[in-house]
Amino acid sequence: MPKRILEGVVVSDKGDKTVVVKVERTIVHPLLKKIVRRSKKYHAHDEANVYKTGETIRIVECAPKSKLKTWEVLPKASA
């Protein structure tokens, strides 16, 4: 089964080798038929501590690294 890749914004980089990423998605409300934004926070492993708050990053599923971390950041794309 392929690993999921999500894109979100770093909301916290306080932990050592850890970033908290807020991922937003849009759904259509079943009754109101309006588009609603839903968000969820994921703890992701950042080995080199290179990502800072406010950056947009991509994360990929991995084997559990700790109690909360089951995601790791993908390396930055070279420009």
Domain that holds residue 45: 5-73
9 occurs within a structural domain: yes
Quick: pLDDT tens for 43-74: 999 999 999 999 999 999 999 999 999 999 99
pLDDT at residue 43 in the model: 98
In total, how many domains does the chain have?
1
78 occurs within a structural domain: no
79 occurs within a structural domain: no
64 occurs within a structural domain: yes
48 occurs within a structural domain: yes
What is the model's pTM?
A: 0.88
Q: Which pairs with CB-CB distance under 8 Å and at least 24 residues apart come from 20-27? A: 20/44, 21/57, 21/59, 21/71, 21/73, 23/59
27 occurs within a structural domain: yes
Burial 9-21 (b: 16+ CB within 10 A, else e): ebeebeeeebbbb
